[in-house]
Amino acid sequence: MSGTSIVKTLCRMCDDHCGIDCHVEEGKVVKIEGNQEHVWNRGRLCIKGSHGTDMIYAPDRIRKPLKKTENGFVEIPLKQALDEIAEKIRNIQTEYGPQAVGVWKGEAVGFAQEEELARRWIHAIGSPNYFSNDSACFAGRWIGYSLVYGRWNAQPDFENSRCIIIWGANPPHAHPNMTQQINRAREKGASLIVIDPRFSAIARQADLYVKVKPGSDGALAWGLMRELIERGWTDQEFIQNFTVGFGQVKEYARKFTYEYVARETGCDAASVIPELARKIKASMPHTVIYVGNGLEHHENGINNIRACAYLDGLIGAVDQKGANYSPVGFPMKELVLYKEKPLLDLGPIGRDRFPILYRYRQECHTMTLMDQILSGKPYPFKALVLTGANPAMTNPNSFKVRKALGALDLLVVHELFMSETAELADYILPAASYLERSEMHVHGGTQTVTLTRRVLTPQPEVTDEYTMFHELAVRLGAGDYFPWKDEDELNAWLVSDSGISIETLKAHPSGYHYAPVEYEKHKRKKAAGEKPFNTASGMFEFTSAILKEHGYQELAEYISPRSNEVRPDRPYTLVTGARKVMYYHGRNHNLPALASALPEAEIEMHPADAARIGVESGSMVKVTSDIGSVVVPVKVMEGDEIGEGVLQMTHGWKSHNVNQITHDNVFDPISGFPLMKAVQVSVEPY
Ligand SMILES: Nc1nc2c(c(=O)[nH]1)N[C@H]1C(S)=C(S)[C@@H](COP(=O)(O)OP(=O)(O)OC[C@H]3O[C@@H](n4cnc5c(=O)[nH]c(N)nc54)[C@H](O)[C@@H]3O)O[C@H]1N2
Ligand SMILES: Nc1nc2c(c(=O)[nH]1)N[C@H]1C(S)=C(S)[C@@H](COP(=O)(O)OP(=O)(O)OC[C@H]3O[C@@H](n4cnc5c(=O)[nH]c(N)nc54)[C@H](O)[C@@H]3O)O[C@H]1N2
Ligand code: SF4
Ligand SMILES: [Mo]
């Protein structure tokens, strides 16, 4: 087409960052296609990616700053909005102290520097209260794996693996590129094992599918450890040279007999465990055990995740080809101010309660925040600036979230749309979309760094992440911390110590490989007298010195989930949040091309359960937990696609918000993660 130019950048309709070709005509993106040269997605896009323009040009997109008045929202100029917001923040900080203000970044803004900008801004204006979606997202796995071997990798080396275990994850919907990698490994002969309470899309392709009761995964992991240890199918060299606490693992694993594991998980452990062990043995150490979000939202989630991480150590599948490889980082300059302004004496919210969350992630606890807003204890919290997040939809106990956010003196929401959270705001600042910003992106899975392109010029009243924080910081007397004129200057600064210039990055729009792959770094480090792993002892820790120091069990002990004890008044176990490829949490429901594929919410139910309560597909049911109720249409599954007594519902539906019934009062004690995936509920026809 004449007059069409193609601009290469990254998709950010999800956090997978596929390479895209934006076809631009007269200043408008007319089409988005996959970038064939991109090493990650190799030209493929999912349905969200190719419909990026639907979001950018959506008719309901917010393009002017809005201020809430007695007559609803009214448009005001950006300068006025920023002036008023800054004045209110200043007054609140003067009256209640600097810590009465916080910032919250959500899933939509997950490039490294966006998160760091939010962290920098809040510390620059004197408060330690940084919140994010991550404390109900991957932080659980981050903490679990960091406790055991110093880091977590979201993109293990699937492609070179000979045995892939997908444990509580749903790649065809959640991570299409991961699915491609798994398929390529399968073509080369890798076996696939899926462990999930649902017979999911990936489970259908598996050589071995293991159905488990929600929250019981630790029992299966320990049962597998017992089997591997008893059969001697372990990597003795790794265990002896690189681990601490193996003796305790060996001793504790004895408890996990087939009978015990079968009772806890509901699977046929006597046949499943030996088969799993044989498959692992046949591929050792080129085994990827990939743990997904399915293990995180549980009361004993971290220890279940740690038990999975232990398996890596037992079989030596640590920083290996075809296993959980640890990517080399890119030396970007740090934006956060934790070293120069830690502000710990100001009491980051939730740090006392969940010190490990704060220690590993430097995040405050979002659920504690809601209680603190409402109680004013231990100190008043009055103002929140929130960007790229929709907690009124995505955090547990949405009723309380709405009440708490509504009770703030000031809520500022940086958004593209009138989300459930934006509706509660005092000010809405229109945000630049991913095609209207330019940012650094580091992709660990491919060890590439990319400078994303500002394909479109944002409209005058629309701010990118840097501009919003910069403008507010300047008005609050913290402009020295935001000296860069714009995000282009910031990007140049970020790479200024890396040895790679912005020009080089511009010349590599499909990603610049910054480092070669290096396996088994722990061996090199040990030989050089360095700590092999980034843990307290420097070793792979079966027993955690840090947990012990904080008063927790040092071993990842298994605790039976409360849902394994049937409560007559709440006889069902509800799993939430299994992803659907067209939606992204609460996003895309307003985009007809995406929403038309699944226009109605649904709760998945076993046919025997549906028959028992007398409902069929399409019938409405009322689902009630100790937190609240939600009404939703039923989807009766085929046969055993879901366990009897188990239900599944995806979050993100405005009219059927499952987070009305998830727990903001039951937590994993180590990470503070909420119980959202084994919620005890009752169900009745409605
Ligand atoms: N299309 C789309 N893609 C997304 C997202 C989205 O909203 N939409 N969200 C993105 C984000 S932020 C994240 S964190 C990732 C998450 O991506 P994944 O980690 O793949 O998470 P889910 O899709 O929720 O899949 C979790 C799986 O675990 C199962 N499960 C639930 N409870 C348990 C349990 O106790 N044990 C076991 N073994 N399995 C269990 C569920 O049935 C489900 O199949 O997806 C990302 N990708
Ligand atoms: N029940 C249940 N609840 C869950 C989960 C679950 O499994 N079950 N999963 C949890 C997980 S893993 C996560 S990550 C959280 C996610 O929770 P959130 O962080 O709240 O993520 P989103 O709902 O995607 O909200 C992102 C918001 O940012 C807006 N937005 C989109 N693009 C941009 C942009 O470029 N800039 C800005 N400033 N805004 C933008 C969108 O319109 C949207 O309203 O949800 C959690 N909630
Ligand atoms: S998986 Fe889909 S939404 Fe995510 S980056 Fe790739 S194309 Fe975009
Ligand atoms: Mo997430």
Tell which wins on pLDDT, 85 or 639.
85
Please tell me the residue having the least CA distance from ligand 1 atom 3: 174
173 CA: nearest ligand 1 atom: 1
**Which ligand neighbours the alpha carbon of 462 most closely?**
2
Q: In the prediction, which pLDDT does 546 show?
A: 96
Confidence band for 499, pLDDT divided at 50, 70 and 90: very high
* pLDDT value at 233 more than 70: yes
* 161-199 per-position pLDDT tens digit: 999 999 999 999 999 999 999 999 999 999 999 999 999
Round the average pLDDT of the chain to a whole number and report it.
97
pTM over 0.95: yes
CB 44 near ligand 3, within 6 Å: no
Summarised one tens digit per residue, pLDDT across range 250-297 is 999 999 999 999 999 999 999 999 999 999 999 999 999 999 999 999
Close Cβ partners of 311 (under 8 Å, ≥ 6 residues apart): 221, 224, 225, 228, 280, 289, 317
**CA 420 to centroid of ligand 2, rounded, Å:** 11
Q: Across residues 601-628, what is the average pLDDT? A: 97
Distance 74 CA to ligand 1 centre (A): 38
Q: What angle do CA 78, 585, 439 make, to 5 degrees?
A: 50
Instruction: Give the distance (Å) from ligand 1 centre to CA of residue 293.
Output: 5
- pLDDT (mean) for 632-655: 96
Q: Which of 12, 18, 40, 175 has most ligand 3 atoms within 8 Å of its beta carbon, as the pocket-test mutant?
A: 18
Mean pLDDT in residue range 603-614: 97
Report the pLDDT value the prediction gives residue 2, as an integer from 0 to 100.
Answer: 61
> Is residue 604 within 6 Å of ligand 1 at its C-beta?
no
Q: Do 307 and 313 touch, CB atoms closer than 8 A?
A: no
Ligand 1 site, residue 198, Cβ cutoff 6 A: yes
Tell me the CA–centroid distance for residue 294 and ligand 2, in Å: 17
Residue 214 CB–ligand 1 contact under 6 Å: yes
Ligand 1 site, residue 442, Cβ cutoff 6 A: no
Neighbours of 523 (CB within 10 A): 14
Closest ligand 1 atom to the C-alpha of 214? 35
- pLDDT digit string, tens, across residues 536-572: 999 999 999 999 999 999 999 999 999 999 899 999 9
Q: Which residue has the tokens 């000979």?
A: 162
pLDDT at residue 1 greater than cutoff 80: no
Ligand nearest to the CA of 429: 2
Q: What mean pLDDT comes out for the span 61-78? A: 98
Please give the distance, rounded to the nearest whole angstrom, from the Cα atom of residue 597 to the centre of ligand 2: 20
Residues with C-beta atoms within 5 A of ion ligand 4? 137
| pLDDT of res. 639 | 87
Query: At which residue do the structure tokens 């309709």 appear?
Result: 13
What is the Cβ-side half-sphere exposure of residue 656, based on CA atoms within 13 angstroms? 19
C-alpha–C-alpha distance, residues 284 and 162, integer Å: 8
Average pLDDT over residues 585-590: 97
Within 10 angstroms of residue 194's Cβ, the number of other Cβ atoms is: 26
How sure is the predictor about 381, in pLDDT bands with cuts at 50, 70 and 90?
Answer: very high
Would you say the CB of residue 227 lies under 6 angstroms from ligand 1?
A: no
For a mutational test of ligand 3's pocket, the pick from 14, 32, 33, i.e. the residue with the most ligand atoms closer than 8 A to its C-beta, is 14
DSSP string, 551-608: TS-SS------GGGS-BTTB-EEEEE----TT-BTTBTTT-HHHHTTS-S--EEE-HH
Once rounded to an integer, what is the mean pLDDT over residues 88-111?
A: 96
Nearest to 233 by CA among 163, 176, 174: 163
Distance between CA atoms of 583 and 595, rounded to whole angstroms? 8
Q: By alpha-carbon position, which residue is closest to atom 14 of ligand 1?
A: 137
Question: pLDDT tens-digit profile of 327-369?
Answer: 999 999 999 999 999 999 999 999 999 999 999 999 999 999 9
Structure token digits, residue 496: 């200024």
Ligand 3 pocket test, candidate residues 10, 32, 38, 48, most atoms within 8 A of CB: 48
The yes-or-no verdict on residue 111 having pLDDT over 80 is: no
Q: Check residue 159 and give its pLDDT.
A: 95
pLDDT of residue 462: 98
Give the distance (Å) from ligand 1 centre to CA of residue 92.
39
Distance CA 558, CA 217 (A): 9
Which residues neighbour 403 within 8 Å (Cβ) at sequence distance 6 or greater?
A: 370, 374
